[in-house]
A and B are shown apart, each in its own frame.
Chain A
Amino acid sequence: MAAAFSSHLPALQVVLALLAAPLCVVLRRPGAAWMIATVITWALLAIAMVLLGRVLETGTITYALGSWPAPWGIEYRIDLANAFVLVLVTLIGSVVMPYARASIPAEIEEPRIYLFYCMYLLNLAGLLGIAITGDVFNLFVFLEISSLSSYVMISLSRDRRALVAAYRYLIMGTIGATFYIIGVGMMYQVTGTLNMVDLATLIPNLTDNRTVMVALAFLCVGLSLKLALFPLHLWLPNAYAYAPSAVSAFLASTGTKVAVYALARILFTVFGGSVLIDDFGLQELLVVLAVAAMIGGSAVAIYQSNVKRLLAYSSIAQIGYMILGLSMASVIGMTAGLVHLFNHALMKGGLFMVMGCVFFRLSSVQVEDMEGLAKRMPLTMAAFVAGGFGLIGMPLTAGFISKWHLIQAALEKGWWGAVAVILVSSLLAVIYIWRVVEAAYFKPPPKGAAEISEAPLSMLVPMWVMIGMSYYFGIDATLTLDITTGAAETLLGGIQ
């Protein structure tokens, strides 16, 4: 019994969340729905950890869904790269859920709360499904499960601007997903298979086939829309700014990250990575877009008066770092990209949780409303400063680890321009973080400001756990670096 259970862990990783989602709708009570979502997320974290441990011990795990053998059936294939993403997604969920208990009722109307937990669980199932699957069409289905539930989660906010943001995200997200299936269709047309491992044996030899190249273009554009690569990021700022804070915290640290993983999977596993190195222009294109995102995102962030929007633009810049690392197609570059994926998830998740605490007491996240806030909410604002240091990339923070490796990777390639851009983008981060810090610490509170106290403990603790982890992995990065190096070597297997 136990052995049978243990061998089905890969399926349970997705199915548990999928089954728990309708349960929330049946129960309807916000407390019960929250309880289910939290317990399931923690169980999924445990499963993800067990799977990661097993991959580290024995290597890649394959699981034939419904016992249909690959390449005919859908195969779940877990190597270091996806085990790492599974742990990341469930870890963020596990910290955000306790926080959501107090934060969500403040930002979503009472009768809709159970729907949030239902959508959250579907979103989790979708994200985990994208990470775990070894089938390109199955990936599309999970991509849409996660996207559709994100649109709903964003639109649940009390702010009416969230509705428009969710609608625009829906339009752009659907175009992205449709581009992705066009690409999958073209690959199927040429190869007759949808299994990633099977494709990986066929596609790299077909790179002079025009259909395959057009498929690559469609896949890249489609996934770039989902991961908000500049200039396809237009849906992101408003979606994150007006969504409930717990949703922003969860989506900002998982949604785009999983899409980055999917792009890496397509480029490196399915296409063997050779398309990047070949004299084909894709590498240059990705580097240019990543650099534009790093500078553009950070520069626009400086001018935002809504701090959640500021953080959203900063996310666009940080996605640029990940894509830059990925496009280097070297082990150290890929490691830097993947470790930044993890570190940024912790930092940005923590910072959005800070803004949730601010909104909880202040009912606003505008910079001018936050003047003098540090005296009234010292713990919350200290967390903002701590998280901000991470975004800038100060030593001892997780952000430093990823930027350090990214710079090393750029030096290895001799890309001096990229090094300069990383530094400039970090300096711009100093400016936008400073604007908030200045308002909160060095300005007097506005006259007649309402007396407010610190956010409740049930929000402060998860927030500090998230920020604390970003410091833990900044001080002792051996664990994350070991795993991401292994993951990078797995992904780059086609090249070496």
Chain B
Amino acid sequence: MELIGLINYWIVIVLMMTGFYIVIAHDNLVKKIVGLNIFQVSVFVFYITMAKVKGGTAPILAEGITTYSNPLPHVLILTAIVVGVATTALGLALVVRIRDAYGTIEDNDFENQDGEP
């Protein structure tokens, strides 16, 4: 029963580890960015989950609304999403420039081309 109640947290952990693994294990620079995104999304889900109040609705001032979800984590995560989008955009822009400069987007090829160990 507790297992099902915590299903969101299990999803967070699975997503987090999936994303983290992709970042570490893949050499393709675009795939690394995708992994990074999955990793960040898991954190978004984590924040949204903890803000949820059972039976709660949107936090608006209206007749008959007594329980509502905590709006603050939602706001925080809006900010974090913006940061995530900026990071992704910058990361992909760098990948474009790297491809222009090296003709490849596979990590490990760069040092060979630059003649470094």
- A residues touching B (Cβ–Cβ < 8 Å)? 137, 140-141, 144, 148, 151-152, 155, 160-161, 163-164, 166-167, 170-171, 174-175, 177-178, 181-182, 185, 188-189
Contacts and interface: CB of A to CB of B under 8 A. Distances in A.
Contact of A161 (B29, B39, B114): B114
A163 B47 CA distance: 33
A161 B110 contact: yes
A182 B43 contact: yes
Interface of B: 20, 23, 29, 32, 36, 39-40, 43, 46-47, 50, 73, 76, 79-80, 83, 86-87, 90-91, 94-95, 97-98, 101-102, 110, 114
B95 A167 contact: yes
**Consensus secondary structure, chain A interface:** helix
Contact of B86 (A148, A166, A175, A182): A148
B98 A164 contact: yes
Nearest to A184: B76
Contact of A144 (B76, B83, B97): B83
A163 B97 contact: yes
Given A163-B97, A178-B39, A189 B87 contact: no
Given A182-B43, A185-B47, A189-B50, A160 B94 contact: no
A160 B101 contact: yes
A210 to B, nearest CB: 14
A155 B90 CA distance: 11
A144 B46 contact: no
Nearest to A173: B87
18 contacts: A137-B79, A141-B83, A144-B83, A148-B87, A155-B94, A160-B98, A160-B101, A161-B110, A161-B114, A163-B98, A167-B91, A170-B94, A171-B91, A174-B87, A175-B20, A177-B83, A178-B40, A182-B43
A246 B87 CA distance: 24
B101 to A, nearest CB: 4
Given A163-B98, A164-B110, A185-B46, A137 B90 contact: no
A170 B33 CA distance: 10
Contacts of A182: 43, 46
